[in-house]
Amino acid sequence: NAGVTQTPKFQVLKTGQSMTLQCAQDMNHEYMSWYRQDPGMGLRLIHYSVGAGITDQGEVPNGYNVSRSTTEDFPLRLLSAAPSQTSVYFCASSHGGTGVYGYTFGSGTRLTVV
């Protein structure tokens, strides 16, 4: 049981480059989310999905795109990387929307944009 798998674990990008952060879960969770973690700011929600084909914006969506074509996968795309997107990114999933079952987080991706 792998849980939530994020790849890559580390990435360095040049300003203006694009890339996709991958997130996959094998628990058949309906809910999936992307957060970014910055020092002194906790985790902030970027985008989330309540099921395949359904996505919505979170608190800090600018500069990021998502899609959810399957229940298992929820990739996060950076279209044109900027230094302000240097951060640690976490993907999380949950079975149902009540929080009763808790959230499972991936191990994070540390992204540096130079």
Interacting residues with another protein (CB under 8 A): 31-33, 35, 40-45, 48-50, 58, 88, 90, 92, 94, 96-100, 102-103, 105, 107-108
Q: Residue 56: what residue type?
A: D
Query: Cα–Cα–Cα angle for 93, 100, 4, nearest 5°?
Result: 20
| Residue 46 vs 113, nearer CB to another protein | 46
Nearest to 32, CA basis, from 41, 40, 23: 23
CB atoms within 10 A of CB 81: 22
| Residue 14 vs 40, nearer CB to another protein | 40
| Residue 101 vs 114, nearer CB to another protein | 101
Q: How far is the CB of 99 from another protein (least distance, A)?
A: 4
